[in-house]
Structure 1
Amino acid sequence: MQSTTLTLGPVLFNWPADRWRDFYFRIADEAPVDHVCIGEVVCSKRQVFFAEVLPQVIERLERGGKEVLLSSLALPTLKRETRHDAELLNGRHMVEVNDVSLLPSVAGRPHAIGPFVNIYNEGTLAFLASRGARLVALPPELPRSSIEAIASALPDVTVEVWAFGRTPLAISARCYHARVHGHSKDSCQFVCDRDADGMTVETLDHEPFLAVNGVQTLSYAFCNLLKEANDLVDTGVSSLRLSPHTCDMVAVAQLFRAVLDGQRDADEAFALSHDACPSATFANGFVHGAAGALYV
């Protein structure tokens, strides 16, 4: 039986090009992940910053035995953005679709579906699979019962679950990150680069609540499904997604791989994940059918 694969999702944040490149170089050399998604998902204005190092990163990842997927934007609104997404199809790499506007272009060719496309039932999965989807990342908010119903429906499709990292909750045409610094979206001065893991949003009682990343809203807590990993495999899930942050993502990937391979106890691995991400608050509420910010 083929082992459960690990996918490293695209960097969602605005990192300097050298940090972005070095992060993926280390992933290529050290992280036990099978698929690596790269590309800009949140804001097309950031693409220019890492465009020059993108070929180097792809070459290094493939030399490290990783399968590279090119991620599309989650909310293309301009002609240049839809044109950029369409151009992803001209290369040799599989494309990860993160907006339904790209579905007509990928129909009939192998592709992946990212977690920003809503798949809430078996019918949607079957429809997407019939049009060429081979790897499908489910939305992070699904409970275990829904995951099992979808993942067991089509064994030939790789079904993936969001297993680590701040959970994407919403994406907007407006940029709160720019507004809070007194800028408009069009003249944002790329202030999102000040918050490498997103900017914390607090409640009126000064409790950390959400994180803002440009036009994107994420959870404050990091989803961490190390303890649920093997149970998810039992439901039919065949891939787990880890979302990049500035903590030690190589160590996080190693812990997930060790748990999936039966080489480390899940409780022990979860305790060690605090060392890999010492500033993170962990949550797992969604998969248990509870509020996403909770740890059940």
Structure 2
Amino acid sequence: MRTTQTIFDRYQELRSRFPPLGRQPKTISIGSLLEIATEVDVFVFDAFGVLNVGETMIPGADTRLDQLRERGCAIRILTNAASYDRSGAIAKFKRLGLRVEDDEIVTSREAALQNLSGGHWGVIAADTDPLSDLPDPVTLLKDNPDDYDNVDQFLFLSTADWTNSRQHLLQTAMQRRPRKLLIGNADLAAPRDGGFSAEPGHFGHQIADLVPGYVQFFGKPFPEVYDLIEASLPTTSPERIAMCGDTLHTDILGAAARGWRTVLVTQDGLFAGHDTQPFSIQSNLFADWRLSRI
């Protein structure tokens, strides 16, 4: 069973794979992002636990984004969710009721796809994913062991239809013949309406434990997604960008390593129902600001 504590503990075990950090700030508690709007030019939002939980928008998230825009702040959504192609990701946020522009959304899937090389890719994705944004040839991996042996490298996008038996097939194939494995979503878990789901990062780190040197992770806290955000904001200084997220080891660590400011959102995500201060002390990860909801 995945709990806040077990997820946090696993992130702690993996710290050597994450970007290094310098001196940490003292966290200031605030009641609303409007209190710091004059100190920030761009607010970058994680999705799960900040804007939505599962398929439900967190109350007031849409209004807050509108208010920040009215104050002259730019908005970006930076999500580690890789189950949708770009058009699907845009449609999801609009379906939730969030008023966002297409160029305001950046996904870890985009970062992973920019790092694809030639060859035959074995893809782990939802059965409903058309894979139309991937180059040919690709094989959607399911229960046929030969498929795992015959591809040149692997791309892991979604756990929607993934099973322990399929994970065993992947581990066996990687141990027998190590190949490149790109993880399109670095998260270990995500808050859903019924609890925490296991995400591609969870399975990717299992493989990295067994076959070091072949697994590459995309999404927070790894650098490629921050490259994409900053490329869309060429005149903005990093210290004027604030990342708003619910997870210390992805949202806060990754943004702080980049030189961004950080906001830990506590009510609905990984730390829902918990005091975040003991977790920050144990991990030595502190956001610039902390609040319940944005």
What is the TM-score of this pair, normalised by structure 2?
Answer: 0.30
If asked which structure has higher relative contact order (CA below 8 Å, sep 6+), I would say 2
